[in-house]
Structure 1
Amino acid sequence: MARRANNSLFLEEWLRSVSGSSSGLVKQSSAPSARSIIQAWSEIRESLQNQKFDTRYVQALRALVSSESTIHVADPQAKLLVSILALRHVSFPVESYTLVVRLLYVWIRKAFRPSQALVGSAVQAIRGVLDDRRNLGPALVAQSVLVSGAFACVPSLSGDLKVLCLELVCRILEEEYSLVGSRQELVPVVLAGVGYALSSSVDVHYVRLLDFLFGIWLKDEGPHGSVTHGLMILHLIEWVMSGYVRANYVGKMSLFASEVLETSNVNYAVFAVLMAAAGVLRASSGGFSSGAQSFEIISKLRKSAEKLIESVAQLLISNGNVTLPTTQREVPLLKCFAIALARCGSVSSSAALLLCLASALLTQVFPLGQIYESFCKDPIGPRLNWVSEHLSDVLFKESGAITGAFCNQYSSASEENKYIVENMIWDFCQNLYLQHRQIALLLRGVEDILLGDIEKIAESSFLMVVVFALAVTKQQLNLIVSEEKKMETSVKILVSFSCLEYFRHIRLPEYMETIREVISCVQENDATCVSFVESLPAYDSLTNPKDLFTQRIAAYEWSKDDVQTSRILFFLRVVPTCIGRLSASAFRRVIASTMFLYIGHPNRKVARASHTLLVAFLSSAKESEEDERNQLKEQLVFYYMQRSLEVYPEITPFEGLASGVAALVRHLPAGSPAIFYSIHSLVEKTSTLDTDALEISQGRKSDPGDQILELLLRLVSLVDIQVLPYLMKSLAQLIIKLPKERQNMVLGELYGQVAESDDVIRKPSLVSWLQSLNYLCSNNGTKGSASGPMIDTSNQLAARL
């Protein structure tokens, strides 16, 4: 980053870009033509000759400044500008001085070897302009600091001339600091001027410059420190220090360390010193120049910078509350701390750093608790305008880098501190779930823009949790960690993910890797599996929550609670992976009622997941409780068929119903009453369906009654020999009521099944039944009688069998 600044002509523009600040003095809309540039200089020259500085003169200056990135100001043109500044007793338009000084800055930044005499004249002219108090304004003062600092850092200038420039910079800063602080957009201009001055090859006034840089923020009339200003200081010091390293300015590096990093100066703003330390670390992370002395001082700088950052972290947690800053002074400092750690590169691990980063993430980067609390306090008043502003804030945009720094600190922390921050994150997830449920139900359809902004922040917090959870699995789910700790961690991660499932909109490799790791642990232990499923919200709380927010809702509908539905969907998908570890009593007590509730959810994805869970339980086995498990399976089937068919086809997806029925036929004991009941229920449902009702399924129209009939036909090859007669009888009752064309198709399907079957026990019964059914269909008076070929097919089949 510092290398990019060195390639940039204008340091203040680079500071704006790296801090997310607005652009500078005048924006250039398009590249100027050579003619327009020549014309502008001609207007200025003519104005000087005629001593007439009217609107044309100001417009010419504006045109040149707006083209500052592309124009070149030569020495003769610079001399012209200095001549204008040297004029006395001439009335100038207010902004013209500022524009002229800005053009001198363009000259000095682009000049290869500027004339020393011309630089001296320019410094004297600027001093003369500033001595006339009538000319003073914030913009002129800021641009004067900028150009004087730029003069001081020109390598080819003499030492005496550099001292003259530095004296002017310090004088302006010390005498006119109130003007500097009156306009926030000028702060990067002043800081760039200070940076140029600090990078000068002479040491004169060095400490005075540092006193201004770090002390101006504490003055009543100075600028108010912010994260943006902190970032400017960080990258300004990075730029300055990178220059020191390249030039091997050992003395300046040593002086900076002693004055800023190693001395507690009450006149220095803490946030500014903190960001400077981060800038030092960033500048020194790119490698050292040759020489033992240089290596030694840079190592000293790094150690001092790290020590200072840790002392700020200790200050932040000294009140004993690492969850939420308690004073307004701590909030911006905590924000700067998070940004500093995100941008400074690797830092030695420390408990204080870890705890502060956790606090910053949970309270400042993702201030969801404050948002929910503010809304609950004032649900009718102005709607949290700062939420949308936070989305464009540099702190929020740096959330990924801050999370990375947090995970790096976590990986090297002690077990005690790891446990502390883990619980902070898991508690954050549960609170987010509970609070966002309330906000989503209250705002959806009422203030969708505000809700959308809140959810963007919550979605980013989900990404943070996923990245952190993966780091936790790598630390806590290894061979040297106790089984108890691994199981506890796995359950907490799963519960946390369930709380944030609503915000998962993209497929993350980190998410899938973490899920695989923790589920493999849960699958190894019965108690862990039970512990996980017991975190599922109770049935009563799902359908009739007692939370305070329900008082503001006319009628709570569980199926419209999207945040809750997402959490339950997570459980419905995860529980089947460890169903073999779950006891029948735990399934009955915790899972069954919720599963049956969500079988009737209007979202078919959710309903299908509920069917899948039942299939998983029906197909599961547990030797220690075989009888109890089979008994529960039979009991559940009765409820399952009732619940599924009462909302079929409107809600119950046929795929889910078919998988459930196939599973119960396969896995219930032979001759189970539940199987008879299921077949009876399907037949009954078919008789009540409107045959004209159509369901759209995978782009094709299909009759719900036909779907159930197809399901019953599949069961012919699945049911045991005890149930088969009842199934054949039930099917016969349905088939003889079908139109002739449909009868022929169904009988053809049945003939095909029997012909392909290798079951020598079932075939005779099936053949006899098919012949009888064929005869009935041919002679029962339905829309025409069956044709000869169908009877012939039956006879031919019987002969082959």
Structure 2
Amino acid sequence: MARKANNSFFLEEWLRTASGTKVSGELVKQNSDPSARSIIQAWSEIRESLQNHNFDTRYLQALRALVSSESSIHVADPQAKLLISILALRDVSLPSESYTLVLRLLYVWIRKAFRPSQALVGSAVQAIHGVVDDKRYLHPALVAQSVLLSGAFACVPSLSGDLKLLCLELLCRLLEKESSLVGSQEVLVPVVLAGIGYALSSSLDVHYIRLLDFLFGIWLESEGSHGNVTYGLMILHLIEWVVSGYMRSNYVNKISLFMNEVLETSKENYTVLAVFMAAAGVLRASAARFSTGAQSFEISKLRNSAEKRMEFVAQLIMSNVNVTLPSTQREGPLLKYFAIAFARCGPVSSSAPLLLCLASALLTQVFPAGQIYDSFCKAFGKDPIGPRLIWVREHLSDVLFNESGAITGAFCNQYSSASEENKYIVENMIWDFCQNLYLQHRQIALLLRGIEDTLLGDIEKIAESSFLMVVVFALAVTKQWLKPTVSRERKMETSVKILVSFSCVEYFRHIRLPEYMETIREVISCIQEDDATCFSFVESIPAYDSLTNPKDLFTQQIEYEWSRDDVQTSRILFYLRVIPTCIGRLSASAFRRVVTSTMFLCIGHPNRKVARASHTLLVAFLSSARESEEDERDQLKEHLIFYYMQRSLEVYPEITPFEGLASGVATLVRHLPAGSPAIFYSIHSLVEKASTFSSKSLQGRKSDPGNQILELLLRLVSLVDIQVLPYLMKSLAHLIINLPKERQNMVLGELYGQVAESDDVIRKPSLVSWLQSLNYLCSNNRAEGSASGSTIDTSNQLAARL
């Protein structure tokens, strides 16, 4: 009958799931629960086939149907006896596949049976002997299922010692004599490993060393030859399952035996990677286990041995890896295994080799930006892009990349407990990675955008995840160094490096991260304390020439336009937003020499966020003050305003955002000295620009360009000083007198409202008199007509009267 599986589970399926293996094996799995009727019918077909010795396609289909429903069905002892009878047949030729299917159903029986019949187990073992001895039917899947079933038999608690010994002998014989068949198909690896795992969890110590020798020796030929971390993960989780069983069953002797044979003894036939992953599995199994007495002491020793083994392997890896360069083809797989082990094993005591290994693994294997960029840039325009697209996409779906967050967490944990020297080493590794990511992605984005957008999008997904890694690490760095007890020099150096690194990866920031905002607040508050630190950060902004005409970065295939370089634009936008926060610490000469050219360039950037940030930066400088250089700073402010107005208005309204322009003008009239020529020039420039728009624009909606400038000029009436006010009134009169009646009335009404609300007893009489004259002349102008000649005459009269 069909029923839900009990708490027993299939170890090989769990290994596949835990390791991220996509292939579930050669046997088809069901998509939904089978009906009781279909299960009964399948067993009926098998029983009838055995009675008639007629094993046709119906018989094979029945076996397949049952195996495809293995997670739901329950195989009782009578059905197991039926299956064993089929295995025991010697005078009938069966389809080769049927033996594997029958073994699979017996496996379902033994894993779900509460107390299986010992007689049936003995008969099954003898029947399996007979099948594997007949070389006609021997093939990889059959051997793998035989190993799995033998191991499953051996770990049944209620089985006698003699039967367990019989099962273990069969399993060891299969592994030792048919190992070439076992290792010939990757899909069978979890099946064989599960069989070994079941056998290792048996209560007997017989053949234990032989099983360990095979488990850690089967990887010898493949060590370093592939980077498929799923196999390593299977070892890790297999050992986790086995060791957890030892702890639950209080098998202290087995814990000690495993520790001595695997972790504390270096055997030539044991593969380094397999032992390393086993050590990680031990740590994972023991991380959440709390024991007392002898077992607790043994587990503590076991963890200590596992950590020492992992550190030993890390030392081997780092002896062959230059931490500042991408790893070679040989070290790559080692680092992949290392990274994924730390993602799964739980807390590990800190050590220099572990920290450096994790850093190298993150920067070369988890986020292989350098390899990707080098590959594409060298092959661009020469080789087909398809294979590289597949390579990037495979990495995105790989379990290693999907565990990048956990690996980063392990890395930060190791970093927090490292020595100051090693912290400094890995910090510089991360900061260099950010610089390279910026330079390389800047180039590849220009190469691929509009040509291979799908590929570029996949590459940017990897880069976006690396941004998250950088942010999480940077927060860990601030917690180490931005403390009162740390020297001022170290704090300042760290702050600048974090900000520069963030500017390099700003392009990949697409979500609001609390860690990012917290880190930014910490480092900015730090650089606000010191002039030299502030200048050091500002000085790192890319120079004007490198922005507009980069050298030695782009190939001749690219027609470079600075405003379309999105990666560079994001970096500059970062500087434009951060510099205002420390502008008071920046000298006028430094601002003029380092910042102004880039600021004015970006005022004309078609990206309005960039243009707006440029206006904000100028506003911040105009609002800033330094007592030590007051005259020099005021001089620079006046000098900058002339070019600022010219640069802003020449690209208004197409590029210059009105909000930015209005903020800049309002700030300059507030902070420049009274009667400053720069203020007169600004008003003149605004009036001149407004006069270029049609009267329709000046009388239309508030969002119309001409009307926006007029509204800004009206706002200045209450802001400019008494020396500038007469000039502003004359300039406004020239604009207002030419407006249509409705618009004139509206403007005059706004002005009367401003004056009425004003408390300035010095300015108010002049403004009232001016408004009365302006109102009178506008009324006369309307009465006399709107011919151009009379308008000019009236404007001149108004100017003379004011």
Q: Normalised by the size of structure 2, how large is the TM-score?
A: 0.95
**Aligned pairs for 1:192-231 within 5 A:** 192-219=194-221, 226-231=228-233
Q: State the AA in 2 paired with 1:333.
A: L
Instruction: State the match for 2:767 in structure 1.
Output: 766
Contact 2:702 2:708 survives alignment (8 Å): no
Compared CA separation, residues 408 and 578, structure 1 to 2 (3 A): same
1:266 maps to 2:268: yes
Q: Distance in 1 between matches of 2:553 and 2:33?
A: 61
Residue 179 of structure 1: CA displacement? 1.3
Taking the aligned partners of 1:440 and 1:413, their CA distance within structure 2 comes to 37
Hey, what's the Cα distance between the residues in 1 that align with 2:760 and 2:291?
Answer: 85
Q: 2:611 aligns to what?
A: 607
Counterpart selection for 2:535 from 530, 549, 554: 530
Contact 2:151 2:171 in 1 (8 A): yes
Task: Tell me whether 1:19 sits opposite 2:14 in the alignment.
Answer: no
Structure 1 position 747 matched with structure 2 position 751? no
Counterpart in the other structure of 1:29: 31
Shift of 1:6: 11
| Aligned residues of 2:505 and 2:571 also touching (Cα < 8 A) | yes
**Contact persistence 2:147–2:196 (CA under 8 A):** yes
Give the letter for the 1:592 counterpart.
T
What does residue 790 of structure 1 align with? none
User: Measured at CA, do residues 74 and 557 of structure 1 come closer, stay the same or move farther in structure 2, by a change above 3 Å?
Assistant: same
- Which residue does the alignment assign to 2:68? 66
Residue deviations 1:163-215 (CA, integer Å, cap 9, x gap)? 00001111111111111111111111111110000000001100111011100
Secondary structure, in 3 states, of the residue corresponding to 2:550?
A: coil
Partners of 1:338 and 1:617 in 2: CA distance:
47
CA displacement at 1:108 relative to structure 2: 0.2
Checking the alignment, whether the CA contact within 8 Å between 1:181 and 1:221 is kept in structure 2 is: no
1:487 aligns with 2:488: no
Give the corresponding residue for 1:435: 440
C-alpha RMSD of matched pairs (Å): 1.8
Of 680, 687, 690, the residue aligned with 2:684 is 680
Q: Specify whether residues 31 and 654 from structure 1 end up closer, same or farther in structure 2 by C-alpha distance, changes over 3 A only.
A: same
CA drift at 1:226:
3.1
Distance in 2 separating the partners of 1:33 and 1:694: 79
- CA change 1:582–1:62 in 2 (3 A) is same
Q: Decide whether aligned partners of structure 1 residues 619 and 722 sit closer, same or farther in structure 2, where only a CA change above 3 A counts.
A: same
Does structure 2 retain, via aligned residues, the 8 Å contact 1:116–1:157?
yes
Distance 1:782 1:54 in 2: 111
Structure 2 residue aligned with 1:401? 406
Give secondary structure in 2 for the equivalent of 1:551: coil
Amino acid at match of 1:430: Q
In structure 2, what is the equivalent of residue 366 of structure 1?
A: 367
Partner Cα separation in structure 1 for residue 665 and residue 527 of structure 2: 29
The answer to whether the aligner puts 1:718 opposite 2:722 as a matched pair is: no
Q: 1:565 to 1:293 in 2, by over 3 A?
A: same
Residue 642 to residue 419, structure 1, CA distance change in 2 (3 Å)? same
Higher mean C-alpha deviation, range 335-344 or range 523-532? 335-344
Name the SS of the counterpart of 1:217 in structure 2.
Answer: coil
Aligned to 2:706: 705
Question: Structure 1's 6 and 177: CA in aligned 2 closer, same or farther, altered over 3 A?
Answer: farther
Aligned partners of 1:141 and 1:176 also within 8 Å = yes
Partner of 2:146: 144
CA contact under 8 A between 1:8 and 1:14: conserved in structure 2?
no
Instruction: Give SS of 2:218's match.
Output: helix
Cα distance in structure 2, aligned partners of 1:323 and 1:58:
59
Distance 2:785 2:697 in 1: 25
Greater CA drift, 131-140 or 511-520: 131-140
Q: Classify the secondary structure of the residue corresponding to 2:517.
A: helix
**Paired residue total:** 776
Instruction: Kindly state the Cα deviation for residue 479 of structure 1 after the two structures are TM-superposed.
Output: 1.3
Deviations 1:117-171 (A, max 9, x none): 0000001101110111111111111111111100000000000000000011111
Whole-Å Cα distance in 1 between the matches of residues 528 and 309 of structure 2? Answer: 47
The one-letter code matched in structure 2 to 1:10 is: F
Gaps of 5+ in 1: 786-801
CA separation of 1:629 and 1:113: change in aligned 2, threshold 3 A: same
Q: Check 1:640–1:222 CA distance in 2 against 1; reply closer, same or farther (3 A cut).
A: closer
CA shift at 1:279, angstroms? 0.5
2:191 matched residue in structure 1: 189
Unaligned residue ranges in structure 2 (runs of 5+)? 787-802
Within the candidate set 624, 638, 643, 1:639 is matched to: 643
- 1:453-532 to 2 correspondences below 5 Å: 453-532=458-537
Q: CA deviation at 1:647?
A: 0.3
Change (3 A) 1:57 1:784: farther
| Kept in 2: contact 1:245–1:288 (CA 8 A) | no
Using the TM superposition, give the Cα deviation of residue 282 of structure 1 relative to its aligned residue in structure 2, in angstroms.
Answer: 0.8
- Alignment partners' CA distance in 2, 1:47 and 1:130: 22
- Look up the equivalent residue of 2:742 and give its one-letter code: E
Q: Deviation per CA, 1:367-420, whole angstroms, max 9, x where unpaired?
A: 000001111221131321211100000000010000000000000111100000
1:702 shift after superposition: 2.5
Deviation at 1:781, TM superposition (A): 3.5
Partner of 1:592: 596
CA drift of 1:694 comes to 10
- Equivalent-residue separation in structure 1 for 2:45 and 2:509 (angstroms): 62
CA contact (8 A) 1:317 1:352 kept: yes
Please name the residue that 1:353 is paired with: 354
Q: Which residue of 1 aligns with 2:562?
A: 558
The answer to whether the aligner puts 1:689 opposite 2:693 as a matched pair is yes
Residues 442-451 or 686-695, more deviating: 686-695
1:164 corresponds to which residue? 166
Task: Assess if the C-alpha contact under 8 Å between 1:182 and 1:222 holds in 2.
Answer: no
CA contact (8 A) 1:181 1:222 kept: no
State whether residues 694 and 702 of structure 1, in contact with CA within 8 Å, keep that contact through their aligned partners in structure 2.
Answer: no
Given candidates 568, 572, 584, the residue that maps to 2:572 is 568
- Aligned equivalents of 2:267, 2:713: Cα separation in 1: 85
- Closer, same or farther: CA 208–425 of 1 in aligned 2, 3 Å: same
Tell me the residue number matched to 2:123: 121
Moved more, 638-647 or 250-259: 250-259
Q: Specify the code of the residue in structure 2 equivalent to 1:601.
A: H
Relative to 1, partners in 2 of residues 1:695 and 1:218: Cα closer, same or farther, differing over 3 Å?
farther
Q: Percent identity?
A: 84
Q: Name whichever of 367-376 and 25-34 sits farther off.
A: 25-34
User: Deviation per CA, 1:235-274, whole angstroms, max 9, x where unpaired?
Assistant: 1100100010111111111111111000111111111100
Determine helix, strand or coil for the equivalent of 2:33: coil
Q: Contact between 1:584 and 1:632, CA under 8 Å: does it hold in 2? A: yes
CA contact 1:665–1:675 (8 Å) conserved in 2: yes
**Residue 328 (structure 1) shift:** 2.8
